[in-house]
Every structure is written in structure tokens, then in C-alpha cells.
């Protein structure tokens, strides 16, 4: 479990199975921290309700979206309209490429500037770009993907601010689009061997010491040396980012209970042996569910989810349709993009 040489470690996809029965509840108004098995995410409320409402209103007034006819992507050879509205803002000249498309940043508008400043101070990381996705109703969605663009500064975090409708957000380890025959793994029991008892309190630090993810870059010729460098970088940012412990004051209203009942103020920790992932929560009421190999969490109005390295190296995420929902959601993903210089 400790110090093996990076080069000697092997990542085996699907070796680690999530406990399908795991269901975690917490009280709301604060923070969740997920660590382990390649996941490194922090979640908290970033704005109190009234403020979030105002910000959403301003976003609706100020943000301009691509014309529908421009919002198209090509996937698996076919062109499709995006199942959502999209736009991009950022520092002058910053562009972001994904899935063959190039987005050119519009100059910051006041509300995005304001939100960016708040999120920068909360996460202690600068951002020079924000991708805006507007989900008109529960039919709008986003498919599984990783934010693994080369334009992103290696090891930097992505801060995802949610305004409006609460929608589920899913993480999945499995690769999209199963390779056929050649690499197909021999069927392996997909059943839930439920021996949930195990427990074996994994420590929060298994992220940096365990080898489950570290030797494996994704499927593009990253070297072990790259990986080591990223580990170092991640360590740096890791030490700066988790401000969760300091949030118990009234800063940002993170613990203000103006919309929910908040009971426990103690930090509790849960872990599932199969998940090898630690979930810490502070007085929280959102439910994180793990079923099969999916981890699902609702993203509330006024919240921020910080996806840190190495989350996007291995885990896909998606915003699946929720067809019963009728209301809009605006999502802002703040990013740090390489500028040519």
C-alpha cells in the first residue's frame, strides 16, 4: 500500500467496484469532499440563496449564447445540435477547443467577473475562462466525457458553479464506447458481491500514496515521468485548495441555513472499501448515491463543485436528462487555460 515505484504500478480498469448499496445522506449548507480512486472533488454552497437568485437573474440578462445553428458538434462522424445552449467568456484571446470545436472567449461581463472573483478566492486558484452551459429544461443534458483538453493547464482544477434548477451530476469510471472484441475483457462478474462490511477505514491520503491511478495516464501516450510531474503539481494545488475546514464561519454563507435545516455541525467521514474513496461531509443534506459504478450527486442552486486533478484523468462525468424537470439551469465551469505565451 505504500511507496512502490510509479513505473511498477498497473492500473486495472474496473478492478475496483463501487458498492451498489452505498447511500450517503448528509445535512445541507456546507461541504463534501471526495477523495480516492482517482477522484478528487470538493463540493459546497458558494452563495446564499438570495444572492444566487440575483446572480442567476443577472446571468440571464447578461450572458449571450451561441446561435442555435452554430451550436453543433460532430461526434462519431455525425453532426448534431448541442442538447443545451452554450457560450464562453474569458480573458482576451483565450480559446478553448473540445471535440473538434473551438470556442472563442467573449470579454468578461460584470456578473461573470463577479462570480469569478468569488470563486477564485474560495478555491485559491485563478481562472481565465468560463464555459457556460444553459440547460433550458430537463431534456437538455450533457453526455459523458472527461475534461482532458490539452489547453487546460495540467493539474489545475475546474470550478463548476450551478445556478437554477438542481440537477444530478454523474461520475463514471468506465470508458465510453466500449471497444469491441480485441480489448474486450472476459466478462468478469458484474454482479454486486455485497460484502459491504469491510470498511477498512481508508485514510484520506490514499490519493497521494495509492497506486490505483497514479501510474496510469489515460490512453494517450503520457509517460510515467509526466505522471510524476503531475503528482507534484497536484500536491501543490491540493494543499492550497481544500478550504473546507475554514468555511465554518459565515464566510460566503456556506453554513447559513436559510434554505435547509442544518443539524449536525460535526464532520463525519464515510468510506466504502470497494470504492476506495473517502467522502467527508460537513453538515450536509445532499445525497450522494453510488450504484453500480456510477456516483451521482445533485448540484444545488448556488453551489460549486471543484474538480481537481486527477479526477479527469480517469473519470467521466455527465449531466443526464431529467425529463420531468421544467426549469432552467445555468452552469459555469471556470477553467485555467494555457495562453500561448
Partner DNA sequence: GAGATACACTGCTC
Partner DNA sequence: AGAGCAGTGTATCT
Binding residues for DNA, rule: CB under 7 A, are 73-78, 80-84, 97-100, 138, 141-150, 168, 172, 174-178, 180, 218-221, 291-292, 294, 296, 320-324
Nearer to DNA, 136 or 145 (CB): 145
Q: Which does 93 bind (CB under 5 to 8 A by kind): Mn ion, DNA, none?
A: none
Nearest to 32 by CA among 200, 269, 262: 269
Residue 131's Cα: distance from chain center in Å? 14
Q: List, as one string, the DSSP characters of 159-190.
A: EEEEEES-EEEEEE-SPSSPPPGGG-------
Minimum Å gap between C-beta 292 and Mn ion is 21
Minimum Å gap between C-beta 101 and DNA is 8
Q: Are 129 and 313 in contact (CB under 8 A)?
A: no
Cis preceding-peptide flag for 3 (omega within 30 of 0): no
Nearer to DNA, 31 or 161 (CB): 161
At residue 159, φ and ψ (nearest 5 deg) are -105, 120
Alpha-carbon span 195 to 199, nearest angstrom: 9
Nearer to DNA, 2 or 179 (CB): 179
Alpha-carbon span 333 to 219, nearest angstrom: 24
What residue number has its CB nearest to Mn ion?
147
DSSP letter at 326 equals -
Q: Which positions touch Mn ion (CB under 5 A)?
A: 147
Q: Which does 197 bind (CB under 5 to 8 A by kind): Mn ion, DNA, none?
A: none
Nearer to DNA, 99 or 246 (CB): 99
Q: Which does 298 bind (CB under 5 to 8 A by kind): Mn ion, DNA, none?
A: none
Nearer to DNA, 15 or 97 (CB): 97
Amino acid at each position: 500500500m505504500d511507496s512502490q515505484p510509479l513505473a511498477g504500478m498497473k492500473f486495472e480498469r474496473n478492478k475496483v467496484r463501487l458498492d451498489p448499496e452505498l447511500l450517503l445522506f448528509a445535512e445541507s449548507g456546507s461541504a463534501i469532499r471526495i477523495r480516492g480512486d482517482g477522484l478528487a472533488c470538493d463540493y459546497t454552497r458558494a452563495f446564499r440563496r438570495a444572492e444566487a437568485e440575483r446572480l442567476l437573474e443577472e446571468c440571464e440578462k447578461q450572458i449571450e449564447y451561441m446561435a442555435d445553428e452554430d451550436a453543433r458538434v460532430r461526434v462519431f462522424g455525425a453532426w448534431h445540435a448541442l442538447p443545451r445552449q452554450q457560450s464562453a467568456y474569458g480573458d482576451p484571446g483565450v480559446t478553448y477547443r473540445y471535440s473538434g470545436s473551438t470556442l472563442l472567449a467573449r470579454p468578461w461581463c460584470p456578473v461573470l467577473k463577479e462570480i469569478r472573483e468569488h470563486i477564485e478566492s474560495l478555491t485559491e486558484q485563478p481562472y481565465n475562462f468560463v464555459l457556460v452551459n444553459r440547460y433550458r429544461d430537463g431534456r437538455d443534458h450533457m453526455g459523458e466525457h472527461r475534461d482532458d483538453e490539452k489547453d487546460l493547464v495540467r493539474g489545475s482544477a475546474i470550478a463548476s458553479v450551478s445556478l437554477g434548477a438542481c440537477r444530478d451530476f454523474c461520475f463514471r469510471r468506465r470508458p465510453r464506447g466500449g471497444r469491441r472484441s480485441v480489448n474486450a475483457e472476459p466478462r468478469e462478474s458484474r454482479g454486486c458481491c455485497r460484502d459491504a462490511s469491510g470498511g477498512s477505514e481508508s485514510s484520506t491520503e490514499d490519493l497521494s500514496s495509492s497506486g490505483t491511478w497514479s501510474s496510469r495516464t489515460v490512453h494517450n501516450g503520457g509517460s510515467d515521468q509526466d505522471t510524476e510531474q503531475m503528482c507534484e503539481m497536484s500536491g501543490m494545488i491540493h494543499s492550497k485548495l481544500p478550504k473546507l475546514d475554514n468555511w465554518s464561519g459565515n464566510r460566503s454563507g456556506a453554513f447559513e441555513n436559510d434554505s435547509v435545516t442544518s443539524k449536525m455541525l460535526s464532520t463525519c467521514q464515510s468510506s466504502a472499501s470497494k470504492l476506495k474513496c473517502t467522502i467527508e461531509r460537513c453538515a450536509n443534506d445532499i445525497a450522494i448515491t453510488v450504484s453500480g459504478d456510477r456516483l451521482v450527486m445533485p448540484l444545488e442552486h448556488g453551489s460549486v463543485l471543484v474538480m481537481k486533478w486527477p479526477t479527469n484523468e480517469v473519470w467521466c462525468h455527465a449531466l443526464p436528462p431529467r425529463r420531468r424537470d421544467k426549469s432552467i439551469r445555468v452552469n459555469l465551469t471556470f477553467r485555467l487555460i494555457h495562453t500561448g505565451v
